A and B are shown apart, each in its own frame.
Chain A
Amino acid sequence: MTKQTLYEMLQQQGISRRGFLKYCTALTSLMALPPAMIPTVAKALESAKRPSVIWLSFQECTGCTESLTRSHSPTIEGLIFDHISLDYHHTLQAASGEAAEHAREQAMKDNYGKYLVVVDGSIPLADPGYSTIAGISNLDMLNETVAGAAAVIAVGTCAAYGGLPHADPNPTGAVSASSLIKDKPVINVPGCPPIPTVISGVLAHYLTFGSIPELDDLGRPKVFYGQSIHDRCYRRPFYDKGLFAETFDDEGAKKGWCLYRLGCKGPMTYNACATLKWNQQTSWPVESGHGCLGCSEPNFWDAGSFYQALSIPDGDYAKAAGYAVAAGVVLGAAAGYANQKIKAESAAEHTEVSVDDFSLNKKQ
């Protein structure tokens, strides 16, 4: 870790103290901490040293890196990302091949037990040949790198839950990072891609407190993934009133009504898009007129059509119902036939009884 603190670095970049404190206030509120914590956050960030970060890219599309680096104007979030010592990142580093691997090994050696590992992409278990780096399988590189890590951040749904490579039929046997790492804290930052502010927020939390934030059942920081899209959606009043868009260009769509019927997965999706938004708080998918895909949830690729309402079943029920009708008719007819037979048999066995049969004077 180098001597320069985050605050010194920000000053060099022309960020004023006022701007820095504003950011600390926003961050404190974002992390759902009481206002009394603002000075603590500011102090911690001021004196934060550059942590070494090793970014491992496995079966991924680079969208997560794009999300984090493609800011059109420099932001403090972006600068926090700049501040970390990104010692290894395929896409961003200049070095390649042996030199690149050497950088990773050097960073691990220098900061053993203290560096952060960011995992981006899923790990193929069916055949290591599906994804290798410098001839090293993803699994081997993960195990080797994580051994000396302080914590692991699984960035993107692929790293967090397997994502697209994990989707049925999962030819590469793709699995998430958290399913393989058992002895280190893993923070899942899912999303396809995740919101940049969330990635930098997790890093800022680590810089501020030196620990990982509180996580939910799916390993996601509760501060960012604690509320559903539906609960924070600005179109929610339309859902409550029963006003829904039924096509993408009807009157309802133009009036900004709820997108539930067009397949919005907002009710089951936990993420911060509705509050943090995208592209410097410009907009977010639902605001642009498209339903939420549920990208921060496990197996969202296999959770039914993106354009079918959440309440619609996903199985092969139509075919099964066809067979069920046929089976029902056959079994019903058989039951009816059996009942008719019983009726006919009992009618045949019925013997006529007259009053004479009970007569005491009946001749023997």
Chain B
Amino acid sequence: MEFFSNANDFLMWTKGSAFTIAVSIFIVGVLVRLLEILLLGRKTDYSEPRGTEWKGGLKNIISRSVVDKGTFKRAPFVIVVGYIWHIAFLVVLLFFVPHIELIKAILGLQWPGLATPLVDAFAVVAIVSMLAMLWHRMTHPVMKFLTTYEDYLVWLVTFLPLITGYIAFHRMIAPYPLALGLHILSVEILLIVFPFSKLMHAFTLFIARWYTGAMMGRKGIES
């Protein structure tokens, strides 16, 4: 490494200024994009309300997580692997003790962690499901047609933290500060790309569900 005299310096850079920059870009980007959507507002609805907005909105946020039968029949692979991936990823993100320490230090929140071999198993599931989704995307004719470069970029920046985390945990690259530094750097790349890509769905999904549910709720119909 030319910019760093050793792996420890690289690790300290990723934990120091690189992290500060990435978090700042992430916060600014997410806030701008969310405010842009929210401030645009909705058209005023002059009709007489037949139900409440908030009830339908909240219900829809939860109920849309339940798999729709028709959708499942049309795209079982995407739904099954999609669910497996999201659960496995969230377990690794939220229940690995070093991650909990990070969240505790930044947000002051904490909860019990899982045994590391269990987290490791979920990491393998997450990695395999991501590879399966990439294969599906590249081979399924409709998916192939719909895929843009952004989809591959989003896949890559999500995959890198997983694979580098796996490598760091299993200490497959020596010295360890290099492995850990690469993992942290990959997360920082993810944080920077996040607000400006489809990864924003992690936030916008709830806004979209709310709007749909609230509209239906106002009309007093099932959403």
Q: Give the interface of A toward B (CB within 8 A).
A: 216-218, 228, 230-231, 239-242, 244, 260-261, 267-268, 270, 297-300, 302-304, 308-318, 320-321, 323-325, 327-329, 331-333, 335-337, 339-340, 343
Complex CA gap A302/B13 in Å reads: 11
Q: A309-B98, A335-B36 are in contact. Are A321 and B6 (CB under 8 A)?
A: no
Query: How many residues on B have C-beta within 8 angstroms of the other chain's C-beta atoms?
Result: 49
> Which of A240, A297, A323 sits near B24, CB closer than 8 Å?
A323
Contact: B97 with A337, CB < 8 Å? Answer: no
Contact: A332 with B32, CB < 8 Å? Answer: yes
Q: A312-B105, A328-B31 are in contact. Are A268 and B16 (CB under 8 A)?
A: no
Contact: B15 with A314, CB < 8 Å? Answer: yes
> Which of A313, A324, A336 sits near B15, CB closer than 8 Å?
A313
> Which of A303, A314, A327 sits near B8, CB closer than 8 Å?
A303
Nearest A residue to B5 by beta-carbon distance?
A298
> Which of A239, A308, A309, A333 sits near B35, CB closer than 8 Å?
A333
Is the CB of B214 closer than 8 A to any CB of chain A? Answer: no
- Nearest-CB distance from A59 to chain B (Å)? 19
Interface string of B163-203 (1 = CB under 8 A from A): 00000000100011100100000000000000000000000
B35 cross-chain contacts in A, Cβ below 8 A? 328-329, 332-333, 335-336
Give chain A's interface secondary structure class. helix
Nearest B residue to A317 by beta-carbon distance?
B20
> Which of A261, A299, A316, A321 sits near B12, CB closer than 8 Å?
A299
Q: A327-B28, A337-B39 are in contact. Are A332 and B34 (CB under 8 A)?
A: yes
Contact: B97 with A260, CB < 8 Å? Answer: yes
Interface centre among A216, A217, A241, A317 (most CB of B within 10 A): A317
> 4 smallest A-B Cβ distances: which pairs?
A336-B39, A332-B35, A328-B31, A311-B98
A335 cross-chain contacts in B, Cβ below 8 A? 32, 35-36, 39
Which of B108-116, B123-131, B136-144 forms part of the interface with chain A? Answer: B108-116
B90 cross-chain contacts in A, Cβ below 8 A? none
B156 cross-chain contacts in A, Cβ below 8 A? none
> Which of B27, B41, B115 sits near A240, CB closer than 8 Å?
B115
Complex CA gap A182/B113 in Å reads: 49
Complex CA gap A133/B29 in Å reads: 57
Q: Give the interface of B toward A (CB within 8 A).
A: 5-9, 11-12, 15-17, 19-21, 23-36, 38-41, 97-99, 101-102, 105-106, 113-118, 171, 175-177, 180
Additional pairs, 11, CB under 8 Å, beyond known A328-B27, A335-B35, A336-B36? A230-B176, A241-B115, A299-B9, A309-B102, A312-B105, A313-B15, A315-B15, A323-B24, A324-B31, A328-B31, A336-B40
Give chain B's interface secondary structure class. helix
Contact: B102 with A311, CB < 8 Å? Answer: yes
Contact: A340 with B27, CB < 8 Å? Answer: no
- Nearest-CB distance from B26 to chain A (Å)? 8
A329 cross-chain contacts in B, Cβ below 8 A? 31, 35
Nearest B residue to A316 by beta-carbon distance?
B20
> Which of B19, B21, B176 sits near A267, CB closer than 8 Å?
B176
Complex CA gap A5/B8 in Å reads: 42
Nearest A residue to B120 by beta-carbon distance?
A240
Complex CA gap A274/B99 in Å reads: 26
Interface centre among B25, B26, B175 (most CB of A within 10 A): B175
Contact: A297 with B8, CB < 8 Å? Answer: yes
Contact: B39 with A268, CB < 8 Å? Answer: no
B9 cross-chain contacts in A, Cβ below 8 A? 298-299
Contact: B23 with A317, CB < 8 Å? Answer: yes
- Nearest-CB distance from A173 to chain B (Å)? 16
> Which of B11, B20, B36, B171 sits near A315, CB closer than 8 Å?
B20
Contact: B176 with A298, CB < 8 Å? Answer: no
Contact: B8 with A268, CB < 8 Å? Answer: yes
B116 cross-chain contacts in A, Cβ below 8 A? 239-242
Q: A329-B35, A335-B32 are in contact. Are A244 and B20 (CB under 8 A)?
A: no
A312 cross-chain contacts in B, Cβ below 8 A? 15, 101-102, 105
5 contacts between A and B (CB under 8 A): A218-B6, A299-B9, A315-B17, A333-B35, A340-B39
Complex CA gap A329/B28 in Å reads: 8
Contact: A228 with B176, CB < 8 Å? Answer: yes
Nearest B residue to A297 by beta-carbon distance?
B8
Q: A299-B9, A312-B101, A328-B27 are in contact. Are A320 and B40 (CB under 8 A)?
A: no
